[in-house]
Every structure is written in structure tokens, then in C-alpha cells.
Amino acid sequence: MRVVLDTNVVISAILIRGGNEDRILQAWRRKAFELVLSTPILIELAQVLLYDKIRKAQWMSEKQVSLLLESFAKEAMISPGHSKVAICRDSADNKFLEAAVDGKAEYLATGDQDLLVLKTYHHIEIVKPSTFLKILS
């Protein structure tokens, strides 16, 4: 199963040890699903993880975060970036749907209400992290 994780899911995993989002990342590390990302998503993740507020609050060390980003780049499926989507209220959210379409993802896990209200997009289910964990079990 292919899945796109919104930036907020990854950031929550880094901020809250043992939470739903951390459990999702652990499941990915166990190869319970194939992670689909894109270059714009990776860039956003790197930028957000450099915010002082995030760096001070995270339970992972700088080295662990760096290794996580490296593993995303190496082990995730990086979508080719062919699709262009212009459906989200916040245009910055379109990149997650674009990656999901290009990567033929079945799910997009997010905490973003602007994405969640869509429920589905091109047969991609848009779900909360807690719902995605239930799907994994």
C-alpha cells in the first residue's frame, strides 16, 4: 500500500514520542507501507525541521532527524512531479495531492482540515493519522 504523509504528520512524530504519528513512522520503518513523497515535500520537511521552535521541542537529536530525512530521500518513492493540482484552499497543500496522484497512493494521512474535508481525491482516501493506524492494523 502506498501512502503520502503530510508534513504535519512527520513533524508530530518528531515532537511527540509514542503518539499516533510516531507509530505511523515506526510502521513505515517496519515496511508496513510504502511512503510516497515528492521533492517539494522533502524541501518543506527540511525547512520546517530547521525552525528553532521545532528544534527545541523535538525528542529526536539533530543527527536522528538528519538520518530520518536521508532515509526518506533514499527509501521513499519519490513521485516524478508530473501532476498539477489546484483544488486546495491553501495552495501549499496541493503538493500532497500531486505526490499521491503521481505515486498512485491509496492514502494521504494528514491532520490538515483543508485536506481532510476533501475525503477523497482521484480514489485516494484522505484520512487522519488515527484512522490510518486502524487501516494498518
Each residue's pLDDT expressed in tens, for the chain with a length of 137 residues: 999 999 999 999 888 889 999 999 999 999 999 999 999 999 999 888 777 777 777 666 778 778 888 888 899 999 988 888 888 788 889 999 999 999 999 999 999 999 999 999 999 999 999 999 999 98
State how far the Cα of 105 lies from the Cα of 125, in Å rounded to an integer: 9
Tell me, what's the pLDDT at 60? 64
Tell me, what's the pLDDT at 54? 72
Tell me, what's the pLDDT at 88? 78
**Contact predicate 13/19, CB 8 Å:** yes
pTM of the model: 0.90
How many domains is the chain partitioned into structurally?
1
Tell me, what's the pLDDT at 18? 93
State how far the Cα of 17 lies from the Cα of 37, in Å rounded to an integer: 22
Backbone angles phi, psi at 119, to 5 degrees: 65, -50
Domain with 77 in it: what CATH number? 3.40.50.1010
Decide: residue 100, CB within 10 A, 0-12 exposed, 13-18 middle, 19+ buried.
buried
| Structural domain span for residue 123 | 2-136
Tell me, what's the pLDDT at 67? 84
